[in-house]
Amino acid sequence: MRPGVVVTLVSTSLLLLGATPGDGDTAPLPARLADTGGGDQLITAEAPTTDSTSGTVTWWERRDGQWAQVGTAPARFGSKGLVEGAARQQGTNTTPTGLYDLPFGFGIRPAPAGTSVDYRAVTADSWWCEDNDSASYNRWAEPLPADCRAAEAEKLSSYTTQYTHALVVGFNYERPVHGRGAGIFLHVNGSGATAGCVSVPEEAMQEILRWTNPARAPHIAIGTTSGQTAITRY
């Protein structure tokens, strides 16, 4: 085969993957991740370093086999930065890095028109149990179970701004490890950095809820630009 033909084939392959010859970093971010969850929708929450409390949330979808950016917004992370999800400890105010599913949405206000994800209305009896001694650890509870202390749970209606609209991040959710952390959400911005969640402006949160389609297996990848917690590792 002539050398020119080899170059042409390599260049064509890179373009099909969304990359430019000689520069793999130009591929869309989801194309550079180790895993995207197998679906056609992905939210990326990227911070510059593990010490960062701000960064960017971008939502993407696969179109004709290629990842395309749908929207982006400034994001906030935990007041103590980010940490590898598998090593996280409860009460550290850190955002867990990793790739997670999005079990359901919830909010004090009704779901934005067009929302198709399972969305639960917050009432005065809605809680998120974070009590390590409770069988309901890291679960929505309504009403509060007898074995979950109110002091170790979030009364969701008390967060009138943050929980206007939210999506549950599947960190430590399917098989909860007590002590690793509970109540990690993608929610509306409060007054500053979060206690470990990811937050975005309200308009962006509404757009994300309208866009999220459970039939397309949406996931969220949280990580840093580089290093051991680089978002591309997940």
Report the pLDDT value the prediction gives residue 25, as an integer from 0 to 100.
Answer: 67
The neighbouring-strand residues paired with 200 are 188
The span from the CA of 137 to the CA of 179, in Å, is 9
Report the pLDDT value the prediction gives residue 10, as an integer from 0 to 100.
Answer: 35
Report the pLDDT value the prediction gives residue 90, as an integer from 0 to 100.
Answer: 98
Report the pLDDT value the prediction gives residue 15, as an integer from 0 to 100.
Answer: 37
Ranges of residues in the chain with a pLDDT under 50 are: 1-23
- Residue-wise pLDDT tens digits, 30-71: 999 999 999 999 999 999 999 999 999 999 999 999 999 999
Burial 149-173 (b: 16+ CB within 10 A, else e): eeeebbebeebeebbbbbbbbbbbb
Counting residues of the chain whose pLDDT is more than 90, the rounded percentage is 89
Report the pLDDT value the prediction gives residue 26, as an integer from 0 to 100.
Answer: 87
Distance of CA 189 to the CA centre of its chain: 14
